[in-house]
């Protein structure tokens, strides 16, 4: 992925020094995988459910094996002083966020709306959010209440080590997916899904959450389409890398990988094939309206 030298966003807050400590994913813990996924925004009529996010955040079983950490090597070195690699990563995050701002601002404008950019907060260990306490173990997430995307960058190591997903575009895709949830929030989709879910059985609500997540994947694809058109960010192998990410983190793949563990949101994000399909849909069409996961019969 080509990103160096592109605009960097000012909407990144760095709270890695305040953290509740213990960065890193503890040994066997799985992440709020859903969050990992790929991409975002959808039609103006559907959205994301805050309940999913909230349950991730508010320390359901997800955050349980709160490590026992897993001090980063060099953990003794005091409140995180970013190694050079981390600095590059921070720059990368700022650049990808800026790219989502540019793309979504344009898409909203083309539809007569104004895009209000989210803040992206880097944290380490745990952090307070309008949705409750955010934990590293929950993976990246979006909180509709404060309109912030939360990421502990150690998640990227986990993607690599545990799921063997590497490549910067796959990492960008994670951010684009969370920003997609923000777009769903701005469009009122989250609210709609949330209130609909209150009338539903648990199984129905889960099915709804899957649609919300797959839509975020599709929206991430829409972002990638436009980003590439405007700035030629894609290099050979990038899309395959992101598709591998989608495959690696589909619920079915995860369940295999996670046998013996509880994966609380395991069925709320769609199978690998579904995630791949929706990301492809977004990146090939570049159209928000192609992301209407709420109206299709077969996901």
Contact between residue 271 and residue 251 where contact means Cβ atoms under 8 Å apart: yes
Smallest distance, Zn ion to C-beta of residue 178, A:
7
Output the six-digit token pair for 264: 């609380």
Minimum separation from the CB atom of position 140 to Zn ion (A): 8
- Gap between the Cα atoms of 167 and 151, Å rounded: 17
Nearer to Zn ion by Cβ, of 108 and 278: the residue is: 278
Beta carbons of 258 and 250 less than 8 angstroms apart: no
Chain residues 195-234 in contact with Zn ion, contact rule CB under 5 A: 213, 216
Task: Report, in Å, the least distance between residue 32 CB and Zn ion.
Answer: 8
How many chain residues bind Zn ion (CB under 5 A)? 4
**Between residues 102 and 213, which has the closer beta carbon with respect to Zn ion?**
213
Residue 157: which H helix or E strand, with range? helix 154-163
H or E element, residue 208: helix 202-231
Q: Which of 34, 125, 241, 282 binds Zn ion (CB under 5 A)?
A: 34
Residues 6+ apart with CB under 8 A from 190: 47, 48, 49, 50, 144, 181, 184, 212
Q: In this complex, which beta carbon is closest to Zn ion, that of residue 9 or of residue 185?
A: 185
In the complex, what is the shortest distance from the CB of residue 258 to Zn ion, in angstroms, rounded to a whole number? 18
Helix (H) or strand (E) holding 210: helix 202-231
* Tokens representing residue 221 in the block: 């694809």
Nearest to Zn ion of 22, 268 (CB atom)? 268
Q: Which of residues 89-148 bind Zn ion (CB under 5 A)?
A: none
In this chain, which stretch among 2-10, 33-41, 88-96, 101-109 interacts with Zn ion, using CB under 5 A?
33-41
**Backbone φ, ψ for residue 135 (5° rounding):** -125, 150
* Degrees, nearest 5: CA angle 172-271-138: 55
Residue closer to Zn ion, measured from CB, 210 or 233: 210
Residue 47 found at the interface with Zn ion (CB under 5 A): no
Residue for token digits 């983190």? 249
Cβ 269 to Zn ion, closest distance in Å?
A: 7
Owner of token pair 């026992």: 68
| Residue with smaller CB distance to Zn ion, 8 or 291 | 291
In the bound state with Zn ion, the residue whose beta carbon lies nearer, of 72 and 207, is: 207
- N residues, the chain: 299
Q: Is 18 helix (H, G, I), strand (E, B) or coil?
A: coil
Residue 71: CB minimum distance to Zn ion, A: 29
Tell me the β-bridge partners of 75: none
Binding mask 158-197 for Zn ion (x = CB under 5 A): ----------------------------------------
- Closest approach, Cβ 48 to Zn ion, in A, equals 7
Query: Closest separation between CB of residue 112 and Zn ion, Å?
Result: 27
Q: Name which of 22 and 40 has its Cβ closer to Zn ion.
A: 40
The b-or-e profile of 27-63 (16+ CB within 10 A means b, else e) is: eebbbbbbbbbbbbbbbbebbbbbbbbbbbbbbeebb
Chain positions contacting Zn ion, by CB under 5 A: 34-35, 213, 216
């Amino acid at each position: 992925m080509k990103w160096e030298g592109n605009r960097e966003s000012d909407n990144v807050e760095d709270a890695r020094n305040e953290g509740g400590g213990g960065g890193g994913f503890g040994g066997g813990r799985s992440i709020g995988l859903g969050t990992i996924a790929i991409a975002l925004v959808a039609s103006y009529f559907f959205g994301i459910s805050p309940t999913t996010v909230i349950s991730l955040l508010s320390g359901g079983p997800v955050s349980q094996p709160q490590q026992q950490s897993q001090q980063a090597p060099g953990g003794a070195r005091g409140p995180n002083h970013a190694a050079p690699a981390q600095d590059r990563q921070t720059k990368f995050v700022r650049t990808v966020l800026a790219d989502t701002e540019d793309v979504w601002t344009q898409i909203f404008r083309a539809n007569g709306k104004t895009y209000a950019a989210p803040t992206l907060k880097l944290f380490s260990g745990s952090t307070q959010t309008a949705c409750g306490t955010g934990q590293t173990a929950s993976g990246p997430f979006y909180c509709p209440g404060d309109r912030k995307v939360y990421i502990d960058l150690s998640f990227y190591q986990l993607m690599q080590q545990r799921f063997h997903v590497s490549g910067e575009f796959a990492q960008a895709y994670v951010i684009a997916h969370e920003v997609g949830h923000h777009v769903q929030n701005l469009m009122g989709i989250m609210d709609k899904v949330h209130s609909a879910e209150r009338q539903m059985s648990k199984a129905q609500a889960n099915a709804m959450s899957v649609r919300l997540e797959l839509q975020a994947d599709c929206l991430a694809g829409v972002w990638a389409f436009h980003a590439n058109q405007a700035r030629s960010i894609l290099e050979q192998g990038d899309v395959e890398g992101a598709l591998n990410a989608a495959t690696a983190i589909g619920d079915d793949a995860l369940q295999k990988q996670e046998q013996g563990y509880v994966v609380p949101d395991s069925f709320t994000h769609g199978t690998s094939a579904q995630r791949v399909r929706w990301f492809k849909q977004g990146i090939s069409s570049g159209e928000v309206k192609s992301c209407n996961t709420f109206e299709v019969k077969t996901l």
